[in-house]
Amino acid sequence: MRKPELGLAALVLGLGIFVLAGTADVRAAGATFGLGPRFFPILVGSAMIVVGVFYVIDVLRGGRGDPEESEDVDSSARADWKTVLMVAVVFVGFALLLDLLGWIIAAALLFFGIAYALGARGLARLGAVSIALSVLTYLVFVKGLGVTLPGGLLAGVI
């Protein structure tokens, strides 16, 4: 039987080793042993390794976490990786293009892409909602609340 949870357990274990290794070169001038900036990371890293080992053992012995219950989740369904991948691509694409395109265009594409990936149809309505929402958030947060969002291509227009 495949055990996908092993990946998460290994991540905990691996991160524990990373915390120890990643702070090994941290030095503080004149810090007495036990009180320097390495002390707490050593505690956390060691705890993580211990917990990680127990977690791996638990999964190998057949232990399984119950998927979280949520209003819109069918916890008995098979994982739909295609949708997850689409959402991931849309989001990372949004992050990389945000400064270039500006909030209004990028956020409209983000909303459109994710809603489409999740199964929204009626593209004309979806497009209209996407644009309305990105323009509205820009106006409220930038003009109203003084939050900084990139203008991008439309910088001079709005």
Partner 1 sequence: MDSFGLLLDGFATALTVENLLFALLGVTLGTLVGVLPGIGPAMTVALLLPITFSVPPASAFIMFAGIYYGGMYGGSTTSILLNTPGESSSMITALEGNKMARRGRAAQALATAAIGSFVAGTIATALLVAFAPMVVDFAIAFGPEDYFALAVLAFTMCSSVLSKSLVRGLASLTLGLAIGLVGIDQQTGQARLTLGIPQLLDGIDVVIIAVGLFAVGEALYVASRMRHAPPEVVPVGRTWMGRSDWARSWKPWLRGTALGFPIGALPGGGAEVPTFLSYSIERRLAKGPAKEEYGHGAIEGVAGPEAANNASAAGTLVPLLSLGLPTSATAAIMLAAFQQYGLQPGPQLFDHNPALVWGMVASLFVGNAMLLVLNLPLAPMWARLLRIPRPYLYAGIVLFAALGAYAVNQSVVDLLILFALGALGFAMRRFGLPLAPAVIGVILGPMAEIQLRRALAIGTGDVTVLVSSPVAAVLLALSALVLLLPLIRRVRAKKQGKSPVGAP
Report 104-143 residues binding partner 1 (CB under 8 A).
Answer: 107, 110-120, 126, 129, 133-134, 137, 141
CB of 105 to partner 1, least distance (A): 13
Residue in 31, 60, 139, 155 binding partner 1, rule: CB under 8 A: 31
* Interaction of residue 69 with partner 1, rule CB under 8 A: yes
Residue in 71, 124, 156, 157 binding partner 1, rule: CB under 8 A: 71
The residue (of 115 and 154) whose beta carbon lies closer to partner 1 is: 115
How far apart are the C-alpha atoms of 105 and 52, rounded to whole Å?
43
CB of 47 to partner 1, least distance (A): 6
Residue in 15, 105, 135, 154 binding partner 1, rule: CB under 8 A: 15
How far apart are the C-alpha atoms of 8 and 59, rounded to whole Å?
10
CB count within 10 Å of CB 55 equals 21
Contacts of 137 (CB under 8 A, 6+ apart): 103, 107
* Interaction of residue 7 with partner 1, rule CB under 8 A: yes
Is residue 126 within 8 A of residue 112, CB to CB? The reply is yes
The residue (of 36 and 105) whose beta carbon lies closer to partner 1 is: 36
- How is residue 1 written in tokens? 């039987």
- Residue 148: exposure state from Cβ atoms within 10 A (0-12, 13-18, ≥19): exposed
